Amino acid sequence: AQSVTQPDIHITVSEGASLELRCNYSYGATPYLFWYVQSPGQGLQLLLKYFSGDTLVQGIKGFEAEFKRSQSSFNLRKPSVHWSDAAEYFCAVGTHTGGFKTIFGAGTRLFVKA
């Protein structure tokens, strides 16, 4: 069955430091992979996606993610975190089973300290 694992429930980084959020997926075929961000009191917003091609994808707000098939991973990175990046981040995999739907991970909450 398809699944997404985000091993870190929460992460704290200092402003200006680099960030990496981990994501592992389980899917039999070539996956469609996504990262979404949720700020407090709001819905989820797409940061970036991977469908095919270059395994390093760029997204909004300076985020990037790298697809590694051998590790079944799609980790999210940002070289320098800003206080406004504090939010919850969801990794997701898209599946084609009777239509297209998205399976979300449990999320990683990012705290940014000054």
Partner 1 sequence: DAGVIQSPRHEVTEMGQEVTLRCKPISGHNSLFWYRQTMMRGLELLIYFNNNVPIDDSGMPEDRFSAKMPNASFSTLKIQPSEPRDSAVYFCASSPQPGQGNSYEQYFGPGTRLTVT
Residues near partner 1 (CB under 8 A):
32, 34, 36, 41-46, 49, 51, 90, 94, 98-104, 106-107
What minimum distance in Å lies between the beta carbon of 35 and partner 1?
Answer: 11
Neighbours of 92 (CB within 10 A): 24
By beta-carbon proximity to partner 1, the closer residue of 9 and 114 is: 9
Provide DSSP, 38-95. Answer: E-TTS-EEEEEEE-SS-SEEE-GGG-EEEEEGGGTEEEEEESS--GGG-EEEEEEEEE
By beta-carbon proximity to partner 1, the closer residue of 51 and 111 is: 51
What minimum distance in Å lies between the beta carbon of 15 and partner 1?
Answer: 27
What minimum distance in Å lies between the beta carbon of 14 and partner 1?
Answer: 26
By beta-carbon proximity to partner 1, the closer residue of 81 and 90 is: 90
Q: Reduce the DSSP state of residue 104 to 3 states and report it.
A: strand
By beta-carbon proximity to partner 1, the closer residue of 62 and 94 is: 94
CA neighbours within 13 Å on the CB side: how many for 111?
A: 6
